Chain A
Amino acid sequence: GAGVSQSPSNKVTEKGKDVELRCDPISGHTALYWYRQRLGQGLEFLIYFQGNSAPDKSGLPSDRFSAERTGESVSTLTIQRTQQEDSAVYLCASRITGPDTQYFGPGTRLTVL
């Protein structure tokens, strides 16, 4: 079956512009995560959606970052007024629920010039 997909795969933008990144989780997966991975660095948790519960936004680094999820489907991560330090790979992951395997998407590589 289809895995987690993300679009675009690459995004180059100018400092100060807004960007929107998309994640399509595996159908039926109630849990959805966004992470940031800077070059050569580990995973940085951003936000967690679980079903219809209020999302855990504790990892968002600033109010320029926001994310939405419609039901148990698509999620978008929006970065407003991008800065050069936002350059990274943004990973999305989904999980059906419970201690099941978490599946990661291929990521969106964001470059802010």
Chain B
Amino acid sequence: GDSVTQMEGPVTLSEEAFLTINCTYTATGYPSLFWYVQYPGEGLQLLLKATKADDKGSNKGFEATYRKETTSFHLEKGSVQVSDSAVYFCALWTYNNNDMRFGAGTRLTVKP
């Protein structure tokens, strides 16, 4: 079935480091892709999304580009801050079953 696979964590970085969290997908048809974030003690919330190939979603300095050729939607940020420490979830929506599926999540810790 349709699914996303994201890199296992945890990921620990120093402040101002470059971040990449990998996400690849398997889907029939053309999914929409999302990144959600869960800050400590808070609920999941949408970070960014892309609905078609080559689209780039961006928010709060984070970016992800929908790559159909590599079936990927990797999350990147050029310079992370301590406040970016959170769990990041990749997700996809497929038209076939109108279903949203989430990856297991990747925990990011940024140290000062």
Q: Note whether A and B form a binding pair.
A: yes
Chain B window 27-61, contacts with chain A (Cβ cutoff 8 Å), 1 for yes, 0 for no: 00000100010000001111001010000000000
How far in angstroms is the closest Cβ of chain A from B11?
Answer: 13
- Complex alpha-carbon distance, A33 and B93, angstroms: 13
- Complex alpha-carbon distance, A50 and B102, angstroms: 17
Is there an interface contact between A42 and B99, defined as CB atoms closer than 8 Å?
Answer: no
Is there an interface contact between B46 and A102, defined as CB atoms closer than 8 Å?
Answer: yes
How far in angstroms is the closest Cβ of chain B from A103?
Answer: 8
Is there an interface contact between B104 and A102, defined as CB atoms closer than 8 Å?
Answer: no
**Residue of chain B at shortest CB distance from A58:** B1
Is there an interface contact between B43 and A107, defined as CB atoms closer than 8 Å?
Answer: yes
Q: Which of B45, B49, B98, B105 has the most CB of A within 10 A?
A: B98
Is there an interface contact between A42 and B43, defined as CB atoms closer than 8 Å?
Answer: no
Is there an interface contact between A102 and B100, defined as CB atoms closer than 8 Å?
Answer: yes
**Residue of chain B at shortest CB distance from A44:** B104
Is there an interface contact between A99 and B104, defined as CB atoms closer than 8 Å?
Answer: no
Is there an interface contact between B102 and A104, defined as CB atoms closer than 8 Å?
Answer: no
Q: How many residues of A contact B (CB 8 A)?
A: 23
Asked if B67 is at the interface of the complex by the 8 Å CB criterion, the answer is no
Chain A window 31-59, contacts with chain B (Cβ cutoff 8 Å), 1 for yes, 0 for no: 10101000011110100101000001000
Residues of A whose CB lies within 8 Å of any CB of B are 31, 33, 35, 40-43, 45, 48, 50, 56, 91, 93, 95, 97-99, 101-102, 104-107
Asked if B87 is at the interface of the complex by the 8 Å CB criterion, the answer is yes
How far in angstroms is the closest Cβ of chain A from B12?
Answer: 14
The listed residue (B49, B91, B98, B107) touching A50 by CB distance below 8 A is B98
The listed residue (A33, A40, A105, A106) touching B100 by CB distance below 8 A is A33
**What are 13 A-B residue pairs whose CB atoms fall within 8 Å in the complex?**
A31-B100, A42-B87, A42-B103, A43-B89, A43-B102, A45-B101, A45-B102, A50-B99, A56-B99, A91-B43, A99-B100, A102-B36, A104-B44
Cβ–Cβ < 8 Å partners of B89 in chain A = 42-43
In addition to A50-B98, A99-B51, 11 A-B residue pairs with Cβ atoms within 8 Å of each other are A42-B89, A42-B103, A43-B102, A48-B99, A56-B97, A95-B100, A99-B93, A102-B36, A104-B45, A106-B43, A107-B43
